[in-house]
Structure 1
Amino acid sequence: MPKPLPTPPIPISAVLCLSLAAAAVLTACGGSSSSGPAVLPLVPAPATAPPAGAPLALACDESLKTAFKPDADTTVTVVKQFRKGDDLNLDGKASGTVAASDVCMVKLNVGPGHAGPADAPSTSPGIGIEVWLPSQASWNSRIRVLGGGGFVGDAGIGAKTQIGGANAAAIAAGEGSVSAVTDAGHASKAPLPSVDGSFAMNPDGTVNTTLWTDFASRGIHQMAVKAKALAAGFYQRDAKYAYWDGCSTGGRQGHMQAQVNPDDFDGILAGNSAINWTSFITAELYPQVVMQRDLGGTPLTADQLSLVSSSAVSACDSALTGQHDGFISDPAACKYDPAQDKTVLCTASGGTNATAACLSTAQAQAVNKIWYGQTRDGSAPAPASDIGYGATLASNQLWYGLTRGTALNSPGAPGFSLADSVAGVPMPFHIAAHQVALNLQDPTIATPDFINATGNGADKWKGLSYAQLANASDRGKALQTAFANINADNPDLARFRDRGAKLLTYHGLADQLIPSSGTANYYERAAKAMGGIDALQKFYRYVEIPAMGHCAGVGSVNGLAGTSPTANPPLPAQNQLFTALTDWVEKGIAPDSMVMQNADRSLARPLCTYPKKIAYLGGDVSKAESFACR
């Protein structure tokens, strides 16, 4: 039986969250990105007669290829009408996914792209954009475009024979919003396109500034502009509201839009944001460098990573209520030190653990370094004095590490788990190795899937010292102009504020890839630039979600058996956060009283707006009213 369109999870379309979100089945009532109960569609605006002399409405057929010509750089490459029940494919090969209602798909290419050898990753015809339009009767007068993941580069978005935006199709068919996705200016041929940073280096080894610009900001801006123009031509009226919805790279893209193109969207939902791009991605290579330098290149095993993380959970999951919750509510309060835990240390290191999962003192110290985050010299203070968590970096700290209790061995993309290895050598997360190669302008540092005429990736990251990795971080910051300000960390949001738009951002406190402290760091800097927290919260709010992983789901591990219950934390429901954003934009209801429930609805907790944290008032720990945000 053909399957209906998937309800898209948080739009993390590619690798930064490759293994963490599974699409659910889309019903006729539809669904969309990450958070909360289904959004009730707006009542479709009544059709109004176009003004005299206005062009005829765009039709979902071949005529659109010549009728839609907003500028000389834009070409319509594919137009396809799907009726309810049609299989979503462009090549005649059944995909098994059917349209839940009538939708029109339009593919665009926006040049000029970047010229070069046909087989070079840096060669691009332009920005690929895929727009999905609900039927005339179904449109709710909203536009809701989706962000990408990793380096983006989805080859299906610009292709004439593939569909690249099933999540966007689901939004158009299910909730009635115009939706769109973009490849951000390049289409990778790699098996996992969003981990491939090869596009950003020219064949001669220099920085590809054109495609960095398309990736950093121009691609998402063009998607917004063209989606609005298509909607206006197709429905003969402008959209009433335009929204951005993205997580990970999509969160970075949302922040970039607020900073650089503040007129594009009325509301931006940005999750687990990959702002501070060059800093945090360089730091993602730090755990592998720690294992190379301190552990002789032998990776920690999956069992060791599970033991040390589970021990951290059980040591810290009762701090809020006095009872073991099965997850850590406040990572700032967890100073667990495996080097002082005899039940984790091997007997040869003075501990009591005789299993294969035990850690030597050197291994326990290495874990502390990984939790603390990247430093210039590979040092880390004792956890009792500083765990490296919070909005402010310590003097020797280049970037934050993952929080205690976060799963360090999540399966998924190559190198996603710290236990991943090839021939006994720790395997890095490929995006990290690629970015360090780009920072240092040396392709050989990357993993072998980095392709360049001057030399392909050759895993030379293995030889990096702590000082050399620190230099890579410094170089990433120094190259921001060439990298088109990819970090999206400008705290000046005055133009976004002044046009009355709203930004809601969230971050899981057990994110396996992007440390949440980076978002807190940016938020505090934005508050300083915008007149303080109270002034900032009038248009920009940030919520931290205990135990949530990278964009969706539980990111922490279970505590020790017999000590802590199975992790079952409250998380945002499907579309909950997007609903909160639309209520803020359209009704003026600020998101400050949200309540989350867990999967079986046995536990409810308030979702606190930063800088407030959850506090226990007493009473039944399963009920939201037993807690407050203070």
Structure 2
Amino acid sequence: MPVLVTICASVVLLAACGGNTSSSALTAATTKPLTCDDSMKTAFKPDVNTTVTLVKAFKKGDDLNLSGTSSGVTATNDLCMVKLNVGPGNPGPAGAPSTSPGIGIEVWLPSPANWNKRVHVVGGGGWAGGVQGSTTAIAGLPNPLAALFPAVAVSTVAIAETEGAVSASTDTGHADTAGGGSFAMNPDGTINTALWTDFASRSIHEMAVDTKALATAYYGIAPKYSYWDGFSTGGRQGMKEAQANPDDFDGILAGGPAFNWSKFITGELYPQIVFQRDLGGTPLTTAQQDLVSNAAISACDSVGGQHLGYILDPSACKYDPTADRNVLCAASGGANSTPACVTPVQAAAINKIWYGITSDGSAPVPGSDNGWASVTSLTGPSGVQRWFGQTRGTSLYGAFFGGTGLAGVNGPFTVASDQVALELQNPTIAGPNFVNATGNGASGWKALSYAQLSNAFDQGIALQSQFGQINTDNPDLSAFKSHGGKLLHYHGLSDELIMPQGSVNYYTRVVNQMGGDLASVQSFYRLFLIPGFGHGSLNGTANPAANPPVPAAGQLYQVLAGWVENGVAPDKIPLQNQGGTITRPICMYPSKPTYTGGDVGAASSFTCS
């Protein structure tokens, strides 16, 4: 993307110097660089739908707040914060979650002297609502959870201050975060197609276009490189940009992406339905889940005669608790007399969760199909299997997340119950957090049969046009390749929330879409699977002592930038564990780390093959 030394003075020039016209054509001409004050409200008008709602200059040492109440975070460099609203939003009753004034975008601009000529925007999580549109709150403050999620916790303020890049984030068209998916349903119970579209795609494209246009207008020169950086929902957003708006970014970092949205999220409710239908509504205790999951790790984690404490390749693990006397209760013919023992029915329930959602609640013997058999099928799971399950050894209830995972003892992951309520257009199916005029959530998911959950799965696919094509599973990335973009996609093999098999399946479909030419795909798109890594958590396994090598803060972004800017294409990426006692490469899929001999804690003992 070339840098022009002159100021872009029209729509045509703005597009030529690195901007992109939005669905509403850019109309304002830029005659001189903007200043960080209220004059920007009238001087910056990139299209008819976009309005500058707030401009605030922060000097080094200033407390970063808009309300007058100290945030306790001070600016380490001079910054300009700009808030944008992109209409038309969605009209409706005041206070209704489905009512929106438009898409909120918060942009952070380093001082001209500190700008590195990059735009580096970040994605959201979950339903991706936020305070980006608020004029009294800041969305981009350093994440207090950064120490727990160093590989994925990205702050727009920190990017602007430390890296020197222009950064931005969006509320995707809805500010409400407490109501979960409530915004996506109209007061009469119908699907809110306007906000689904904003959430699924329009908000991220508008953020890309407006952020680059604002950077060009503010500095008088276009950004040289533009990057997307997102995890989970943010990973899905990045994949959507590559698929639908391939010219928006030069590099996309997509971690644990929530693509295949309706499929895997409907499947996220499956563990709770297994508990309801097979175990009389009594979930397995965390101790029971940990016992069986750690037994799976012990059965499948040996490398070079040593136990790693996590599974290097869960696709090869066929551990079956129904055949393991060490976890089965003595009263059921097993050898375990502890309170954590499981009955054969409970052991079979865990096998079902590992296999993934089925239309009838069945699961084959793991020795014949451990749930991975269809992972490289171009049509995805077949037969009764609808989608994939959590990998063996992963913490099923989400220990790192305080037990709020898929098999949590206090009920479902709320995104899942919300999504199923939206698919069936019945708010009462969701949990109490779901608010709607036709009836709030009443945990009606508890009464769903396997067949009814499978029907919701089908409905999620059938309603894609109303859901803004949220599934983000189009394998045609040819336009992104033609643009010259690079896509670095990574996924933890112990992801507690999003099944990594979905990433493998999508990559397989992309290769097929491009005529089976793996080298051609790898020239612009590379997938890396990370053993033991969770949903951003450093240890996604059921083994609290596991300490797998994981990405360091900012490491994968730097790898992506090196690929985009210097042509250094990664085929393996060196990682180390917390404390630096173990090093190991992660390999570009479809290659895997293969032990060749020597110290199992040394990267030199592994090759990618």
Partner residue of 1:348 out of 306, 331, 334: 331
Judged with a 3 Å threshold, the aligned counterparts in structure 2 of structure 1 residues 54 and 346 are, in CA distance, closer, same or farther, namely closer
Task: Trace 1:132-531 onto structure 2 (pairs within 5 A).
Answer: 132-154=108-130, 156-166=131-141, 167-188=155-176, 190=178, 196-318=180-302, 320-389=303-372, 390-392=375-377, 393-411=381-399, 412=401, 415-416=404-405, 418-421=407-410, 427-531=411-515
- One-letter identity of the residue aligned with 1:397: Q
Distance 1:47 1:492, change over 3 A: closer
Residue 321 of structure 1 and its aligned partner are, at CA, apart by: 2.4
AA aligned to 2:212 is K
Deviations 1:77-124 (A, max 9, x none): 111111112111100101111112111110000000000101211100
* Equivalent-residue separation in structure 1 for 2:376 and 2:353 (angstroms): 18
SS state of the match for residue 158, structure 1?
coil
| Paired position in structure 2 for 1:540 | 525
Q: Specify the SS of the correspondent of 2:307.
A: coil
CA distance in 2, matches of 1:268, 1:321: 36
Q: Distance in 1 between matches of 2:261 and 2:323?
A: 34
Count, aligned residues: 569
8 Å Cα contact 1:414-1:429 kept in structure 2: no
Cα separation, 2, equivalents of 1:598 and 1:202: 47
Partner Cα distance (1:306, 1:587) in 2: 45
AA of the residue aligned to 2:54? V
What does residue 613 of structure 1 align with?
A: 592
TM superposition shift of 1:49: 5.8
CA–CA distance in structure 2, aligned partners of residues 314 and 504 of structure 1? 32
Out of 72, 80, 103, the position equivalent to 2:48 is: 72
State how 1:546-561 maps to structure 2 within 5 Å.
546-558=531-543
Contact 1:507/1:551 (<8 A) preserved: no
Q: What do the CA deviations read for 1:359-408 (whole angstroms, capped 9, x no partner)? A: 11111100010011001000001111111023332422101100111012
Q: 2:177 & 2:225 partners in 1: Cα distance?
A: 35
State the alpha-carbon separation in 1 of the partners of residues 499 and 181 from structure 2: 21
Distance 1:448 1:526 in 2: 39
1:63 maps to which residue? Answer: 39
Any conservation in 1 of the 2:271–2:406 contact (CA below 8 Å)? no
- Where 1:170 maps in the other structure, the secondary structure is helix
**Aligned equivalents of 1:266 and 1:71: distance in 2?**
23
Identity %: 59
Q: Equivalent residue of 2:322, what SS?
A: helix
The 3 A distance-change label for structure 1 pair 206 and 51 is: closer
1:395 aligned counterpart, secondary structure: coil
The unaligned stretches of length 5 or more in structure 2 are 10-28, 142-154
**CA separation in 1, counterparts of 2:3 and 2:209?**
23
**SS of match in other structure, 1:622:** coil
TM-score, normalization: structure 1?
0.88
Indicate conservation of the 8 Å contact 1:530/1:536, yes or no: yes
CA contact (8 A) 2:127 2:177 kept: no
**TM-score computed with the length of structure 2 as normaliser:** 0.91
State the Cα distance separating 1:187 from its structure 2 match.
1.1
Structure 1, unaligned runs of 5 or more: 1-44, 422-426, 560-565
Match of 1:6 in 2: none
1:598 corresponds to 2:573: no
Instruction: Give the counterpart letter for 2:369 in structure 1.
Output: D
Structure 1 residues 91 and 70: alpha-carbon distance in aligned structure 2, compared to 1, 3 A threshold: same
Residues 432 and 51 (structure 1), Cα distance of their counterparts in 2 relative to 1, 3 Å cut: closer
CA–CA distance in structure 2, aligned partners of residues 102 and 409 of structure 1: 43
50 and 216 in structure 1: CA distance in 2 versus 1, 3 angstrom threshold: closer
Q: Take 1:51 and 1:113, find their aligned partners in 2: how far apart are those partners?
A: 29
The Cα shift of 1:246 comes to 0.2
What amino acid is aligned across from residue 408 of structure 2 in structure 1? Answer: A
Of stretches 176-185 and 69-78 in structure 1, the one that deviates more from structure 2 is 69-78
Match of 2:65 among 61, 85, 89: 89
Shift in alpha-carbon separation, 1:233–1:550, aligned structure 2, 3 A: same
Alpha-carbon separation, structure 2, partners of 1:46 and 1:380 = 57
How far off is 1:499 after superposition?
A: 1.1
* Greater RCO (CA < 8 Å, at least 6 residues apart): 1
Q: Check whether the contact 1:388–1:394 (CA below 8 A) recurs between aligned residues.
A: no
Q: Partners of 1:464 and 1:107 in 2: how far apart? A: 43
Give the match's secondary structure for 1:365: helix
Calculate the aligned-residue CA RMSD, in Å: 1.6
Judge conservation of contact 2:200–2:470 (CA < 8 Å) in 1. Answer: yes
Q: C-alpha separation between the residues in 2 aligned to 1:588 and 1:91?
A: 45
